Homo-oligomer: A and B are copies of this chain.
Amino acid sequence: MLPKSLKNLIGELRKLPGVGPKSAERLSMHLLRSDRSNIEELAEALVNLKKGIVLCGTCWNVSEADPCKICDDESRERKTVCVVEDVMDALALERTRQYRGLYHVLHGKISPLNNVSPHDLKIQDLHSRVAESAGKNGSAISEIILATNPDMEGEATAMYIAELLKPLKVKITRIARGLPTGGHVEYADDLTLSNAMEGRREF
């Protein structure tokens, strides 16, 4: 019953992650009611998306130039590298304005079930990066912060990297696990509570 072009858009939107049939319909109807200029702005943003985006050859973050702004920023703490799974993780850490070191984006996590092995990630590149920096006076990397997600695959990835980098004699740390701000001891799961107890610090 629906016109072809409307059906077509619904079909395309349904391919996106987290967009079910109802959302795709709702979004399509919203767009159909929008001004032509609005729709064209979105279409243009899509077509231009990949233009001018490269991966930084040092930290593998998305960027407009290689090296990226962060790797190129002399005011940053160049001896610390924070390892994250994805670009958006780095963005979240940047938002805190607390971390002033560099990043290394893995572009995923080790996941045998999804056929993602260490070779599919920027892990070997991290090893080379740390090893090569050791030779350079003053800019040798001294700490690797593993900030992969605290789930099973993220933990496995962190452990794999820690093992791999051990011979390089660099300090390797893992972000803290515990209760999130606003959380409740009463409702926290066992693992989180155990981690919070284990990771306790002097007051």
Instruction: Spell out A's residues near B (CB within 8 Å).
Output: 1-6, 8-9, 11-13, 15-19, 23, 25-32, 36, 38-53, 61-64, 69-70, 86-88, 90-91, 94
Task: Name the contact of A9 in the complex, choosing from B31, B46, B69, B88 (C-beta under 8 A).
Answer: B46
Assess the B48–A8 pair: CB atoms within 8 A: yes
Can you offer 21 A-B residue contacts whose CB atoms are under 8 A?
A: A1-B61, A1-B69, A1-B94, A3-B53, A4-B52, A5-B51, A6-B62, A9-B45, A9-B49, A11-B45, A12-B42, A12-B45, A17-B26, A18-B23, A28-B49, A29-B87, A29-B88, A39-B46, A39-B47, A42-B46, A43-B43
Q: In the complex, are the beta carbons of A62 and B17 less than 8 A apart?
A: no
Q: Which residues of B contact A94 (CB under 8 A)?
A: 1
Docked complex Cα distance between A63 and B45 (Å): 28
Contacts of A1 in B (CB 8 A): 61, 69-70, 90-91, 94
Cβ–Cβ < 8 Å partners of A47 in chain B: 39-40, 43
Indicate if the CB atoms of A88 and B18 lie closer than 8 Å: no
Determine the residue in chain B with the shortest Cβ distance to A51.
Answer: B5
Are A27 and B17 neighbours in the complex by a CB distance under 8 Å? Answer: yes
Give the nearest-CB partner of A27 in chain B.
B16
